[in-house]
A and B are shown apart, each in its own frame.
Chain A
Amino acid sequence: MRRLLIEMVVVSVLSGLFGAIASRAAAQDVSRDQEVMQLIANRCGICHSTDLVTQQRLDRSRWTATVDKMIRWGALLSPEERTALMNYLATQYHPQAPVDVKPSNTK
Chain B
Amino acid sequence: MIQKRHQPITRRTLLTRALGVVALGLAGGRGLIPPAWANPEGQRASDENPLIVRVARPFDAETKVREFASWLTPNDRFFVRSHFGPPPEEQIGPAAWRLQIGGLVERRLRLSLDDLKQFPEVTVTAVLQCSGNGRAFYRPRVPGVQWERGAVGNARWTGMRLADVLKRAGVQPSARHVQMQGADRPASTQVPLFIRSIPIEKALHPDTLLAYRMNGEPLPLLHGAPLRVITPGWMGDACLKWLTTITVSAEEAKGFYMETAYRYPVRPVEPGTAVSPREMKPVEAMVVKSLIVEPAQGAIVGRSPVMISGVAWTGEDRHIARVDVSTDDGRTWQPAQLLGEDLPYAWRKWQAIWKPNEAGPAAILCRATDDQGQTQPPVSPWNPSGFLWNGADRVQIDVRRA
A interface residues (Cβ-Cβ under 8 A, vs B): 26, 29-30, 33-34, 37-38, 40-42, 45-52, 55-59, 62, 66, 72-75, 91-92, 95-96, 101, 103-107
Contacts and interface: CB of A to CB of B under 8 A. Distances in A.
B148 A101 contact: yes
Given A33-B16, A52-B145, A105-B395, 18 more contacts: A30-B15, A30-B19, A37-B37, A41-B35, A51-B54, A52-B55, A55-B54, A55-B146, A56-B143, A101-B146, A101-B148, A103-B298, A103-B395, A103-B396, A104-B52, A104-B149, A105-B149, A106-B298
Interface in B26-43: 32-37, 40-42
Contacts, number: 118
Contact of B296 (A47, A59, A75, A105): A105
Minimum-distance CB pairs A-B, first 3:
A105-B65, A74-B188, A74-B190
Given A51-B55, A51-B56, A34 B190 contact: no
A100 B358 CA distance: 30
Interface of B: 2, 5-6, 9, 11-13, 15-16, 19, 32-37, 40-42, 46-47, 52-58, 60, 62, 64-66, 136, 140-141, 143, 145-146, 148-150, 186-192, 293, 296-298, 395-396
B188 A49 contact: no
Contacts of B5: 91
A50 B108 CA distance: 43
Contact of B141 (A37, A57, A73): A57
B21 to A, nearest CB: 12
B142 to A, nearest CB: 8
30 contacts: A29-B16, A38-B34, A41-B36, A42-B34, A45-B36, A47-B187, A51-B40, A51-B42, A51-B55, A52-B145, A55-B54, A55-B145, A56-B141, A56-B146, A62-B143, A66-B143, A73-B192, A74-B190, A75-B188, A92-B9, A95-B141, A96-B6, A101-B136, A101-B148, A103-B148, A103-B395, A104-B65, A105-B293, A105-B395, A106-B298
Contacts of A56: 141, 143, 146
A49 B55 CA distance: 7
Contacts of B187: 46-47
A90 to B, nearest CB: 10
Given A49-B41, A52-B145, A103-B297, A73 B188 contact: yes
A101 to B, nearest CB: 6
B90 to A, nearest CB: 22
Contacts of A58: 141, 143
A37 B34 contact: yes
Given A41-B35, A55-B146, A104 B191 contact: no
B140 A95 contact: yes
A24 B150 CA distance: 46
A95 B46 CA distance: 26
A41 B37 CA distance: 7
A105 B66 contact: yes
A57 B298 CA distance: 25
